[in-house]
Amino acid sequence: MTTRQLGARYGVSLVLLGLVLLAAMFIPGFFTRANLTTILLHVSINAVIALGMTYVIVTAGIDLSVGSIVGLAGVLAAATLTNAALVRALGPGLAAVAAVLVGLAVGAALGFLNGALIAWLRVAPFIVTLATMTVGRGLARLFTGGLPIGFPDAGDPDYRGKVAALDALNHLGGGRLPLPGLPTGFPVPALVMLLLVAAGGFVLTRTRYGRYVFAVGGNEEASRLSGVPVQMVKLGVYVISGACSGLAAVLLVGQLRSGGPDAGMLYELNAIAAAVIGGTSLFGGIGSAWGTLVGALLIGVLNNGLDLLGVQSFWQEIAKGVIILLAVVFDVWVKKAGQTVKRTGGK
């Protein structure tokens, strides 16, 4: 294996490791269990969205609608959670379950719409998801009148029930699991993220569907001629991306105890950034769940470290931009490595 191929496989992980070491040495308060746990919590929502985004980008697509899905799925999940009749009928626990299902269903449905338009009408993913991004945000604001849903009035006859339901969902979005040696406990969203990345990685690398995702992204025509159901594969990645965003929306509602119509703004860019930094190629055919997690962590560690140093948030944005650029340049460099190998291999 050449240096480049090694770099391609482990480069971003090494960068993350180096960054963590540097931060551990020079930033007081960084390398504590509590702070590291906080980083995991902070990256979890972005990582969940970015995982779905990875599927899409591996097929050489893009999903700009994820942020709006977070907004729309969030307000609908919050509305479900604080629906008086529902809470009375189901009780707070089942109402929370219903809210989760609503969030997932809304996300998957919008993803289905994206995927159907892209796979069957052959509209460019950028355009389709740009449109659903706008429509989704509009629907979220229309539904809520622009105000967040959550906080019940103290005079509300169902006040207690609604609060109980919000509390129930808060176990998912803001809960902590006791963990020996960790006084603050382990954040539930971070656990959700880790489980999801493990599952997402398994599907990508071990299942027939995952293989098809890479094949379609690597060469759509060759895949079609090999009998790969290209349209279903494409539909699938957008449904997965939508469902991941729906799940992220529910986590966010649980964390904040409310669903706001403007939640998730610009999340699409953070998700794309995480995937790309993690080695997913925008040309398709290359990417991994683990890489995307590393990409999300890299952004998280960077933000956290700069926060602790008291650096202005503006600088954090600049740093993130530079890292994205480096990742893309790296991607191009690795691509070139493939061509060099081709020449030597072809006599």
- Write out the residues near another protein by the rule CB under 8 A: 206-209, 211-212, 214-215, 218-219, 221-229, 285-286, 338, 341-342, 344-347
Q: Which is nearer to another protein, 88 or 206 (CB)?
A: 206
Contacts of 62 by beta carbon, 8 Å cutoff, 6+ apart = 56, 125, 126, 129, 272, 282
User: Which phi and psi (to 5°) does residue 45 adopt?
Assistant: -65, -45
Q: Which is nearer to another protein, 194 or 203 (CB)?
A: 203
Q: Which two tokens stand for residue 89?
A: 């009928």
Q: Which of 37, 114, 19 is nearest to 68 (CA)?
A: 114
Q: Which is nearer to another protein, 142 or 199 (CB)?
A: 199
β-partners of residue 186 are 177
Distance of closest approach, residue 237 Cβ to another protein, in angstroms:
15
Residue ranges of the alpha helices (H) in 59-83? Answer: 66-81
Distance of closest approach, residue 235 Cβ to another protein, in angstroms:
15
Contacts of 14 by beta carbon, 8 Å cutoff, 6+ apart = none
Distance of closest approach, residue 28 Cβ to another protein, in angstroms:
45
User: Which phi and psi (to 5°) does residue 151 adopt?
Assistant: -30, 100
Which 3 state secondary structure label does DSSP give 317? helix
What is the number of other CB atoms lying within 10 angstroms of the CB of residue 89? 11
Instruction: Please give the DSSP secondary-structure letter assigned to residue 146.
Output: T
Report how far apart, in Å, the C-alpha atoms of 92 and of each of 149, 173, 200, 255 are.
16, 15, 30, 16
Distance of closest approach, residue 326 Cβ to another protein, in angstroms:
22
Q: Which is nearer to another protein, 232 or 325 (CB)?
A: 232
Q: Which of 347, 287, 334, 346 is nearest to 1 (CA)?
A: 334
Distance of closest approach, residue 343 Cβ to another protein, in angstroms:
9
Distance of closest approach, residue 217 Cβ to another protein, in angstroms:
9
On whether the CB atoms of residues 82 and 162 are closer than 8 A, the answer is yes
On whether the CB atoms of residues 291 and 281 are closer than 8 A, the answer is no
Distance of closest approach, residue 242 Cβ to another protein, in angstroms:
20
Q: Which is nearer to another protein, 138 or 218 (CB)?
A: 218
Distance of closest approach, residue 79 Cβ to another protein, in angstroms:
35
Q: Which is nearer to another protein, 1 or 25 (CB)?
A: 1
